[in-house]
A and B are shown apart, each in its own frame.
Chain A
Amino acid sequence: MGELSLLSNGVNPVLLVVVPLALAFAVPLIGFVSKKIIKYIPVVAFLFNLIVALLLIPSVLKQPIVVKIGGFAPPFCINLVAGPIGILFSALIALAGLLVSIYALNYIREGPQEKYHILYLLLLTGATGVVLTGDIFNLFVFFEILCISSYALVAYLGNKAGIESSIKYLIQGSVGSSLLLLGIGLLYGQFGTLNMADIANQIHSASSPSIFVPMVLMITGLGVEAAIFPLNAWLPDAHSSAPSSISAILSGIAIEVGLYAVIRVLFTIFDASNFLMFFVFLGVLTLLIGEMCAFSQKNIKRMLAYSSIGQIGLIVFAFSIANTYGVTGGFFQLISHTLGKGLLFLAAGYMIYRSGSMDISTFEGMGKRMPLTSLFFTVGAFSIVGLPPFIGFPSKFMIVRAALSTGELLFTILIGIVLLGTVIEGAYFFRVVQVIYFKKGNGNPERKKAPISGLISMFIFVILILVIGVYPNLITKILNSAASELLNRIDYIRSVLG
């Protein structure tokens, strides 16, 4: 294997996909030996992935690693491209996967647990595959692995709400994936290749109407999972009906991965700089609609779900600015949303478990009953709103700086609207925090804690939010090279095709 010598310290990025996938199908076999150790398998898998991803970061920053599966040279093989974006996302997926699986050790007690852990592993395998693959049909396959396991996990509890939202999600998602496959078919018909870099290389040789149709089809198909307005009708139902650990993954990873696919298709394959203005408005519209719907919610999980739509709008806006600051800010906001929203859903999970209802008004006096969980929830809320010293502050600050650095009046006005959205966001999050701390509950004020595994995983989220919030320089290097990978498509094409 000649290419293995290129890999620093012998770590192959393909392990990031293979190990969780193999462990997912090993779960039933291990279940024959002992039912008790099944729930530790996701923890092991994502700990492994996190270590591999972190080991790969130094060499990836120098040069993207292209894995040629089967030994054929691109464009003839299915290849994995572990560039800065791919490794950044894999590390994020592994981190969130690890923390949420630690949380789930005690949280998932009912239902078919074996199936939960299989689907959970498959969901995150699909997500890792999407961000690493360099082949457009392979992207579709991994995307379907991600989607199908999330449809099934939304219905995990088997109650009326879960099944209803799962079938809504499934119908919209399968229409989206048909559109995506149609777009891929059109691209293959024109260029005779499925390699993303090869298509990107030839894209300007085709006439623009014949490019426009597959682009619209693919963006629409991927946009369903990325929850870009008007394709996000499924999201509030699905995110609020799933178990809280799954809501955290759906909100923190699944829609982000959908968004990754959208920007990869837009920037790298189609080089669609002419259409970015459209996405600027789409992003602002998504943001405003999400925040305004979230403001009127009484159900905590629906509120968080609508807030995710708002955050996705902000990220789409940041990417569509398409200068270095904007794209870096977009990636930063992605990380900040994963950490913040993950923490919020996990904390809300145990608060719902204790109060027995998702209604915000039943959280009165929660600050006394569950002091630690309430504190963690508050940290997550403040971080999403963008208060210093949490991670949400530097990420939002970077987006504002990006919009102002364009020097155009339009972007100045739009960033004003975005900040207005942040004010609405602040209003509804502070309302929840006020209910938690400053209203006296009429129930018994006995103190109950979340189980220790839940507290540990939430505590690590809090530490990360604080540390990156105070020292954003820790991750600026990889964010900058991720941004330059997205903006310099010629370098991407050259590094894959050689």
Chain B
Amino acid sequence: MTLYLMAFFLFLVGLYGAVTKKDIIKIILSIGIMGYSVNLFLILIAYRTGAIYPILSKIEDLGIPMVDPLPQALVLTSIVIELGITALLAALAIRIYEKYKTFDITKVRRLKG
């Protein structure tokens, strides 16, 4: 339970950063932290105490419990999606720097109302 709460706390750290930081690079990192905490959470769901990795190679392993392989597959997918999002964010951050010569998101305010 403590581990779940710590993963959730990590998520809140990321959320706090994404909401309050002004620097785009820090926002990108915060969004990254948020994604990692969700991945960590998924891996924790799959974890079983004393279990082995879910590859059946030896016949002696048959009775021993395995960790749940499905969340690990989900994490692989979610890492790929996060890679896409981070790359797009970084590309947009570069474009913003080209246009405004700053990474400060509060200076980038043309659209209002």
Contact = CB atoms under 8 A, between A and B. Distances in A.
B102 interface: no
B41 A185 contact: yes
A402 B63 CA distance: 58
Nearest to A189: B45
| Dominant secondary structure at the A interface | helix
A141 interface: yes
A160 B70 CA distance: 43
Nearest to B33: A178
Given A144-B81, A171-B27, A164 B111 contact: yes
Interface string B27-55: 10001001100100110010000000000
B67 interface: no
B17 to A, nearest CB: 11
Given A155-B95, A171-B27, A185-B42, A161 B85 contact: no
Most chain-B Cβ atoms within 10 A of its Cβ — which of A174, A175, A240, A302? A174
A161 B96 CA distance: 10
B96 A240 contact: no
Interface string A163-174: 111110011001
A137 interface: yes
A160 B88 CA distance: 16
A141 B74 CA distance: 10
A167 B18 contact: no
Interface string A270-290: 000000000000000000000
Interface string A187-209: 01100001000000000000000
A160 B27 CA distance: 19
B80 to A, nearest CB: 9
B18 A171 contact: yes
Most chain-A Cβ atoms within 10 A of its Cβ — which of B14, B15, B42? B42
Given A144-B85, A160-B99, A167-B105, 4 more contacts: A152-B88, A174-B85, A178-B11, A188-B71
16 contacts: A141-B81, A148-B84, A148-B88, A160-B99, A163-B96, A164-B111, A170-B88, A170-B92, A178-B14, A178-B34, A178-B38, A181-B38, A188-B71, A189-B45, A241-B111, A302-B113
Interchain residue pairs A-B with the least CB separation, the first 9? A189-B45, A178-B34, A237-B111, A167-B92, A144-B81, A185-B42, A181-B38, A163-B95, A174-B85
